[in-house]
Amino acid sequence: MQQIDLLIVGGEVINAFSRRFLDVAVSEGKVVGLLNSDAPKPPARKVIQAKGLYVLPGAIDPHTHLGSGAKVFGNIPATMKACTQALALGGTTTVMEMIPPKKGMTLFEGASQARAEREGNMAIDFAFHPSIPSSEDSVMAQLENCADEGIASFHASFEGSRGREALNEGILYHLLTLARERRMMMIVHAEDSRLNEAIIKQTPNAGAVEKVSSCRPWLSETSAVRRAVFVSELTRGPLYFEHLGAGPSLNAVRSARLAGLPVYAETCPHYLCFSEEIYKTSRGVEFLKSPPLRRKADVEALWRGIQDGTISSVATDESLALLQKKREATEQLPAYQVSGGLNQIELRLAVMQTEMVVRRGMPIEKVVHCLATGPAMVFGLYPRKGTIEIGSDADLVLFDPKVTRKIRNEDLHQGTDYTIFEGWQVQGIPRMTILRGTILAEDGCIVGPDDGGQWLARKIDPSVTGGPAA
Ligand SMILES: [Zn+2]
């Protein structure tokens, strides 16, 4: 029998639709064998005992703004090294980032520059979603160019902040038609800016922290979701709603999926774990985020959406923020304009396993689906990523479901002065994170290279752009 690089023995391999006790054989960065425990073992250069542990596919965080962490770390290389190591420690092996338009650059030039700045500074694999600034013909041509180069998704917003043109039905019609033809995934920030403006005008003391959820209300999100779903119905263009927080928005997504439309929903740990009442407390500033937290009934509706598969993906939408800076910003701006990160990139897997499996009795397979398989399928990385199959990249997390830990910001590696999960008790931690066969993190320490992350060219499967397939 040929010698292999790595053999992981005795663990339980968890995929989105299966769990089995199998030994995992790895060579040249790929999974080359999944062996029953009584099968003859190939000789291996390294053997890892995984008795009592889950072997999970490396998690994928499909929605981040890591680049804006340069505010915390001073420059892009330092930001990327720190953030991707934090991600690796938390069990994430692939990260996707929104790339905003750069002045005077095409979308592809902007993405190429971002790639050049990141290569050699990423501990984990990475991919991009360019944010489109407008719907001009030149931008459409640039999107085609991106698709040819393996950037199979893009981002646009109904809200239209930061110099971007706000989406409307006409622009959507154009973009979704292109997305369908070129098998791209269109990511939509669903928040109706006209509704927000009208409501802000009518709200007394609108700039206060305790008013953020009423100034950017759930109905603004649902309005934009319904408008976008209607255009997807007309064009059959594939849509992914980022950071949904409102129950009625999910109802629209659910109906669209039942009707066979390629419509996908993402939510984030903060919408699942907190609700808008927190803005009325002394911790309110910590939770300023665009869009804001929602009502308690919405939180319950999101959990139903996870349970019934309406939600395909749980992402952090991380951009890192210092609490001091957020406080200063609320002195200069209305609170509904203050955004920034919630500092949770390292915590997603442990928090979600605790909330889904320990607190709500869901199967661990569901965690794998929302954190790895769903994002991999939607964004064209499956089955290379997001699952443990023969031929997949050997991106693996050895996860101990029994260990408990209290979250403290001072133990985290993202360089910020707080996390929204401070003091939370989690059950289950990643004991080892492996990227393409190389051990990156072990027992809370980085042990692997901080520069081995590769940029990923992507192609989305026609089943995903043609109907609800994840
Ligand atoms: Zn975002």
Question: 61 near 92, Cβ under 8 Å?
Answer: yes
Distance 102 CA to ligand 1 centre (A): 17
What residue type is 340 in one-letter code? G
User: How far is Cα 82 from Cα 75, in angstroms, rounded to an integer?
Assistant: 11
Locate all alpha helices (DSSP H) within 149-202, ordered by sequence: 169-182, 193-202
Assess if residue 305 is contained within a domain: yes
Question: 250 near 265, Cβ under 8 Å?
Answer: yes
DSSP 308: T
Q: Which of 172, 171, 226, 223 is nearest to 193 (CA)?
A: 223
How confident is residue 278, by pLDDT bands cut at 50, 70 and 90?
A: very high
The pLDDT assigned to 103 comes to: 84
Question: 382 near 129, Cβ under 8 Å?
Answer: no
Partner residues linked to 397 by β-bridges: 56, 433
Would the pLDDT of 357 be above 80?
yes
Around Cβ 300, how many Cβ atoms within 10 Å? Answer: 13
Assess if residue 370 is contained within a domain: yes
- Lowest-confidence region among 105-114, 116-125, 433-442: 105-114
Distance 317 CA to ligand 1 centre (A): 5
Q: pLDDT tens digits for 3-53?
A: 999 999 999 999 999 999 999 999 999 999 999 989 999 999 999 999 999
Distance 2 CA to ligand 1 centre (A): 46
How confident is residue 410, by pLDDT bands cut at 50, 70 and 90?
A: very high
The set of long-range contacts for 441-444, using a CB threshold of 8 Å and a minimum separation of 24, is 441/85, 441/88, 441/89, 444/89, 444/411
Distance 266 CA to ligand 1 centre (A): 11
Assess if residue 438 is contained within a domain: no
User: How far is Cα 290 from Cα 319, in angstroms, rounded to an integer?
Assistant: 11
Distance 69 CA to ligand 1 centre (A): 13
The pLDDT assigned to 143 comes to: 93
Give the end-to-end CA distance of the chain in Å, rounded to a whole number. 38
* SS3 category, 401: strand
Assess if residue 424 is contained within a domain: no
Percent of the chain with pLDDT over 90: 93
Structure-token pair, residue 313: 């993906």
H or E segment and range at residue 351? helix 348-353
Distance 340 CA to ligand 1 centre (A): 9
The pLDDT assigned to 248 comes to: 98
Mean pLDDT, residues 120-134 taken together: 95
Number of domains into which the chain is organized: 1
Q: How deeply is 36 buried, as exposed, middle or buried, from its count of CB atoms within 10 A (0-12, 13-18, 19+)? A: exposed
User: How far is Cα 386 from Cα 94, in angstroms, rounded to an integer?
Assistant: 9
Distance 319 CA to ligand 1 centre (A): 8
Distance 12 CA to ligand 1 centre (A): 34
Domain that holds residue 89: 58-382
Q: Which of 313, 424, 329, 391 is nearest to 64 (CA)?
A: 313
Q: Which of 419, 420, 444, 348 is nearest to 89 (CA)?
A: 444
**What backbone torsions phi and psi does residue 430 show, to the nearest 5 degrees?**
-70, 125
Assess if residue 38 is contained within a domain: no
Q: Which residue has the higher pLDDT, 104 or 216?
A: 216
Distance 434 CA to ligand 1 centre (A): 27
* SS3 category, 29: coil
Would the pLDDT of 161 be above 80?
no
The pLDDT assigned to 4 comes to: 98
**DSSP secondary structure, 77-122, as one string:** HHHHHHHHHHHHHTTEEEEEEEEPPPTT--HHHHHHHHHHHHTTS-
Q: pLDDT tens digits for 224-255?
A: 999 999 999 999 999 999 999 999 999 999 99
Q: Which residue has the higher pLDDT, 415 or 280?
A: 280
Distance 63 CA to ligand 1 centre (A): 6
Would the pLDDT of 384 be above 90?
yes
Would the pLDDT of 156 be above 80?
yes
The pLDDT assigned to 102 comes to: 83
Would the pLDDT of 354 be above 90?
yes
Distance 291 CA to ligand 1 centre (A): 9
Assess if residue 461 is contained within a domain: no
Distance 65 CA to ligand 1 centre (A): 6
Q: Are strands 153-157 and 44-49 parallel, antiparallel or unpaired?
A: unpaired
Distance 345 CA to ligand 1 centre (A): 13
| Residues in CB range of 297: below 8 A, 6 or more apart | 247
Q: Are strands 44-49 and 4-9 parallel, antiparallel or unpaired?
A: parallel
Distance 98 CA to ligand 1 centre (A): 7
How does the average pLDDT of the chain come out, rounded?
96
C-alpha angle 396-400-406 in degrees, rounded to nearest 5: 120
User: How far is Cα 306 from Cα 369, in angstroms, rounded to an integer?
Assistant: 10
Percent helix, strand and coil across the chain, each rounded to 5? 40, 25, 40
Mean pLDDT, residues 330-350 taken together: 95
Would the pLDDT of 363 be above 90?
yes
Assess if residue 378 is contained within a domain: yes
The pLDDT assigned to 57 comes to: 98
| CA quadruple 149, 155, 156, 161: dihedral sign | negative
The pLDDT assigned to 332 comes to: 96
Q: Are strands 30-35 and 18-21 parallel, antiparallel or unpaired?
A: unpaired
Q: Which of 132, 129, 77 is nearest to 98 (CA)?
A: 129
Q: In this structure, what CATH number is given to the domain that contains residue 276?
A: 3.20.20.140
Mean pLDDT, residues 352-380 taken together: 98
User: How far is Cα 83 from Cα 412, in angstroms, rounded to an integer?
Assistant: 10
The pLDDT assigned to 246 comes to: 98
User: How far is Cα 7 from Cα 95, in angstroms, rounded to an integer?
Assistant: 26
Mean pLDDT, residues 139-161 taken together: 92
